[in-house]
């Protein structure tokens, strides 16, 4: 699914970029991907992707800590 029509960025690319680099905002995600914000309509979706990636990272860290405690 295309997330940013202006820059032709799809959801998978956004997820990979958000996972690879620590970003806090949609503008940061654009910069990581080497583009700039044009209309800005994609920013809420990009920020949802960032939140999802951050939550996944936190869940994985908690699961790893739980495994280490149990071992
Ligand atoms: S849709 Fe992303 S800047 Fe326009």
- What is the DSSP-derived secondary structure letter of residue 5? T
Q: Ligand 1: distance of its center to the CA of 52 in Å? A: 20
Rounded mean pLDDT of the chain?
Answer: 93
CB atoms within 10 A of CB 29: 28
For 9, phi and psi rounded to 5 degrees?
Answer: -105, 130
pLDDT in tens, 21-51: 888 898 999 999 999 999 999 999 999 999 9
**What is the atom index within ligand 1 of the atom nearest the CA of 5?**
1
- For the chain, the domain total comes to 1
**69 touches ligand 1 (CB under 6 Å):** no
The structure tokens listed for 65 are 């800590």
Q: Which H/E stretch holds residue 9? A: strand 9-10
Q: Whose CA is nearest to atom 1 of ligand 1?
A: 4
Per-residue pLDDT averaged across 55-65, rounded?
94
What is the span of the domain harbouring residue 41?
2-70
Quote the pLDDT of residue 22: 81
Q: What's the predicted TM-score (pTM) here?
A: 0.84
pLDDT at 20 over 90: no
Check pocket membership of 5 for ligand 1, CB cut-off 6 A: yes
Cα–Cα distance, 31 to 66 (Å, whole number) = 35
């Amino acid at each position: 699914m295309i997330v940013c029509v202006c820059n032709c960025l799809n959801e998978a690319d956004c997820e990979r970029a958000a996972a690879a680099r620590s970003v806090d905002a949609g503008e940061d995600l654009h910069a990581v991907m080497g583009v700039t914000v044009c209309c800005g309509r994609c920013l809420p979706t990009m920020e949802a992707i960032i939140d999802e990636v951050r939550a996944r990272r936190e869940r994985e860290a908690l699961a790893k800590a739980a495994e280490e405690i149990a071992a």
